[in-house]
């Protein structure tokens, strides 16, 4: 599985130019605040249409301005862990996880709720409301919901944001296990090169 990205896009006053071709389990994208990292993830997920370019993941073309391909977001099968988690506040943790699973067509599911709950160690959180979770707990639930949607690849937007060092370490270990155990290509966004150095040698940057 690989990411092949050729992206040209203007948003606000920022011109984003990003080219990458990788075949590693985890690719990191770093850059300062406002460089366009989240916008790159949004383009790959199909939430923002690039002005020009091509996006292919695992050899499957999701967008190509030259040939008019523009796969709709739900057909791209991206798992997206947002910087702010975006858990549904009116649903308990268990229902948030089930929501992710409902997004996956049955033949696209490759991990069960039971497996996700064990993988992330969140069995004790299932009856809790999102508002009562710590930052690290909420991040694990958001990762679980993304995995249950049966993704072909995972987009993670600064998953250590607003976590203390101990919780950040826990999430980094989860990311390492996703990389090593799940065979799921990951594009990991961070503003800090030091954070990603332990995850991958494949670090690309936006100016």
Ligand X SMILES: Nc1ncnc2c1ncn2[C@@H]1O[C@H](COP(=O)(O)OP(=O)(O)OP(=O)(O)O)[C@@H](O)[C@H]1O
Q: Under the rule (CB under 6 A), what is the footprint of ligand X?
A: 11-12, 14, 31, 33-39, 191
In the complex, the smallest distance separating the C-beta of residue 35 from ligand X, rounded to whole angstroms, is 4
What phi, psi does 160 have (nearest 5°)? -95, 0
In the complex, the smallest distance separating the C-beta of residue 197 from ligand X, rounded to whole angstroms, is 18
d(CA 63, CA 71): 6
In the complex, the smallest distance separating the C-beta of residue 32 from ligand X, rounded to whole angstroms, is 7
Q: Considering the complex, state which of residue 14 and residue 132 has its C-beta at the smaller distance from ligand X.
A: 14
Q: Cβ-closest residue to ligand X?
A: 12
Q: Considering the complex, state which of residue 33 and residue 67 has its C-beta at the smaller distance from ligand X.
A: 33
Q: Considering the complex, state which of residue 3 and residue 119 has its C-beta at the smaller distance from ligand X.
A: 3
Q: Considering the complex, state which of residue 35 and residue 174 has its C-beta at the smaller distance from ligand X.
A: 35
Q: Three-class SS of residue 190? A: strand
Start-end of H helices in the chain: 37-45, 73-76, 93-103, 113-120, 135-148, 165-181, 193-197
In the complex, the smallest distance separating the C-beta of residue 10 from ligand X, rounded to whole angstroms, is 9
Buried (b) or exposed (e) across 42-67, using 16+ Cβ within 10 A? bbbbbebebeebbbbbeeeebbbbee
């Amino acid at each position: 599985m690989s990411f092949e990205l050729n992206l040209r896009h203007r948003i606000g006053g920022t011109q984003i130019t990003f080219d990458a071709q990788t075949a590693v389990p985890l690719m990191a994208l770093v850059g300062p605040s406002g460089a366009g990292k989240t916008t790159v993830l949004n383009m790959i997920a199909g939430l923002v249409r690039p002005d020009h370019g091509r996006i292919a993941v695992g050899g499957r073309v999701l967008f190509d301005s030259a040939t008019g391909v523009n796969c709709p977001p739900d057909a791209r099968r991206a798992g997206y862990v947002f910087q702010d988690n975006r858990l549904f506040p009116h649903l308990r943790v268990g229902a948030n996880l089930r929501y992710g699973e409902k997004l996956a067509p049955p033949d696209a599911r490759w991990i069960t709720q039971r497996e996700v709950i064990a993988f992330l160690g969140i069995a004790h959180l299932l009856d809790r409301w999102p508002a009562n979770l710590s930052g690290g707990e909420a991040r694990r639930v958001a990762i679980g919901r993304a995995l249950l949607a049966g993704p072909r690849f995972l987009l993670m937007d600064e998953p250590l944001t607003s976590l203390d060092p101990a919780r950040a370490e826990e999430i980094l270990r989860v990311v390492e296990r996703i990389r090593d155990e799940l065979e799921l290509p990951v594009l990991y966004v961070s503003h800090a090169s030091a954070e990603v150095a332990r995850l991958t040698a494949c670090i690309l940057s936006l100016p």
